[in-house]
Structure 1
């Protein structure tokens, strides 16, 4: 029987059952199929940079705006050929792979979409805020696909931007920081409305993804492998939703964590309403699993799976209104679950640790926080010393 016939038959059965009184509620509407991201380079665009042999050619429509062997120059020429003063996004597609010096940038102005169908290999050394993809003081920018290798200072650097989207980002690095998004050029203004769909970072010497001074952040998945510091680090970021952080060997030998919140992250005004929501944190090896520090909070982490961390599996230090394992969690081996405080900040307050199975580890609270709750904790060859 064909698909259409099968659907009609199901509908007919539902109608008969309803008429007979077997159904007391309306039939559920079938879920719409999940949208599939377009393949790199598909769809309309206003300019492109294309590699043929060893020559890059940048075109705007039928007009050639650049030819040469320098990938960065060709991509920048394609971007610069877009409509001046535009107030709607225009798109540049890059077709080919090449090298870009670490001490240089491909800069995105406002209302620009970049789709890189190839790999940017970053070579040499540099200093400052250079990055193969860079934007500052702009709005409505988007990077749909990007693959980076080599040794960038930053793979992507966005500062004081609004309405920024990163789609499918893959970085296999030998040093540097993966994605940095901040407001440190003008701290009187938040960077606002940032979306990150999927980021994979390996080999970075610093963080896979770091934010500072962002209001409005939506993250799909951050996957970190063998990075020197954190998988995802949120500094002074509010109104954030993260689906998953998946880290292996993030911050080995350091105090960094698969997921870290610091520098008053989650603080809204002078309080900590719940505004940081994390679906899942996975940490295998590395430094810490989850780390909240320096007057951060307002966070709920639904699920954790933390194993064999070299430092604390969890460290909550001078944080407020934090719930760990709101739904479920396992901690196996590695460092302890620790609630602590430094004297220069107010002590922990309104911390809830629940729904955890802790195996071959320990839970310790010292000093005692205010309104700390431990619920539904299963200890397997583990100890608990709390207030």
Structure 2
């Protein structure tokens, strides 16, 4: 019963927030319903017809930098892409249903600056729901994705880097892959990533520096595989001079069921997690593998897979790791022994540490 009221409260809050979408006087609007859409800029019609994607793109193309589009109508864009250019604000007030376009995002902003997406509601099975690279001063607000597969938000690996990205609240359900995956960001602020029934990670940070995350909350995330509610990988937190000074700060990670709770791997580090609340994870509650300067300062682990420090031979061993936790009905293991490892474990966990 309590869970029902929590869900109801979240939905009510989302409805209240979305009610603000399209408020005031947007510079362009998309209105209508299935089979009949109109894109207008001021008093001028820039598109009228049955193609929902064309209506949205026409509205976006009609405005200039510093102006705003509000998509009031709901509809499907199919396996196609909406592109947002620099300086534009895109509000998805209706529900945008999307298809799978290989290697592409349903909505993209590439090589741009000062793009804002304050509101968005997405459904469907995209390759990527949102796709970015080469962005500067990107702002994402209230983003809700109720998916039947695909990946939620993706910052590309093999393209231009990003700077100064702000993300407010992202809620993703049903993604087959990650809810949010970053590559190559310097300067990232995240309020909340809330992942439910997601196939791989809730939040995956890679080659991302100077990051501040308030909350990652996962339920049934990464079940049956090696991913995690919160994962740092591929030199995440390593600065341009090769150092691992603390520059990734996470306030709280909550994880229930699924696979791993927290996972740091492949020469990542420079990170502090202030608090964790992990229970009944199907794989390691926490796994730290070949990472440097990582601290988990407080929290609880209840049951699930073990808390583990491990290492692969192809990378230097763990070093400068500090973990302070209450761990119950579980095990804590360090193998092989790392360098400068500090443990403070309370609770009834069995410990095999150096």
Scaled to the shorter chain, the TM-score interval is over 0.9
Residues 69-92 of structure 1: CA deviation (Å, up to 9, x unaligned): 111100000011113xx4xx2110
Find the residue that maps to 2:115 and give its secondary structure: strand
Contact 2:111-2:133 within 8 A present in 1 as well: yes
Partner of 1:158: helix, strand, or coil?
A: strand
Give the structure 1 partner of residue 27 of structure 2: 46
Given the alignment of the two structures, is residue 281 of structure 1 paired with residue 242 of structure 2, yes or no? no
Please say if residues 35 and 51 of structure 2, whose CA atoms lie closer than 8 Å, have aligned partners that are also in contact.
no
Residue of structure 2 equivalent to 1:165: 139
Determine the C-alpha separation between the residues in 1 that align with 2:29 and 2:107: 16
**In the alignment, is the contact (CA less than 8 A) between 1:182 and 1:214 conserved in 2?**
no
TM-score normalised by L of structure 2: 0.93
Q: CA deviation at 1:37?
A: 9.1
Instruction: Give CA deviations for 1:219-269 in whole Å, capped at 9, x if unaligned.
Output: 000000011100000001000000000000110000000000000000012
Decide which of 318, 339, 346 is 2:290's aligned counterpart: 318
Match of 2:215 in 1: 244
Contact 1:160 1:184 in 2 (8 A): no
Aligned counterparts of 2:97 and 2:223: Cα–Cα separation in 1: 26
- Once superposed, what is the RMSD of the aligned Cα atoms? 1.3
Matches of 1:337 and 1:358, distance apart in 2: 8
Structure 2 residue 107 is matched with structure 1 residue 133: yes
Aligned match for 2:305, one of 326, 335, 341: 335
2:189 counterpart residue number:
218
Distance 1:379 1:52 in 2: 57
- Equivalent in the alignment of 2:77: 100
**The residue matched to 1:42 in structure 2 has which SS?**
coil
Per the alignment, residue 16 of structure 1 pairs with none
What TM-score does the superposition give when structure 1 sets the normalisation length? 0.85
Aligned to 2:342: 373
Q: How far apart are residue 53 of structure 1 and its match?
A: 6.4
Q: Is the 8 A contact 2:34 2:50 kept in 1?
A: no
Determine helix, strand or coil for the equivalent of 2:86.
coil
More divergent stretch after superposition (252-261 vs 153-162) = 153-162
| CA displacement, residues 116-149 of structure 1 (integer Å, 9 cap, x when unaligned) | 11101113x43112x2211111111011111111
- Report how many aligned residue pairs link the two structures: 337
Structure that is richer in strand per residue: 2
- Provide the residue aligned with 1:209 in structure 2: 180
Q: How does 1:1-387 map to 2 (within 5 A)?
A: 39-52=20-33, 54-83=35-64, 86=65, 89-102=66-79, 104-123=80-99, 125-129=100-104, 131-182=105-156, 184-186=158-160, 190-268=161-239, 269-324=241-296, 326=297, 328-354=298-324, 356-375=325-344, 377-380=345-348, 382-387=349-354
Displacement after TM superposition at 1:202 (Å): 0.6
Deviation at 1:336, TM superposition (A): 0.4
- What runs of 5+ residues in structure 2 fail to find an aligned partner? 1-16
Higher radius of gyration, 1 or 2? 1
Q: Take 1:140 and 1:304, find their aligned partners in 2: how far apart are those partners? A: 33
User: 2:9 is matched with which residue?
Assistant: none
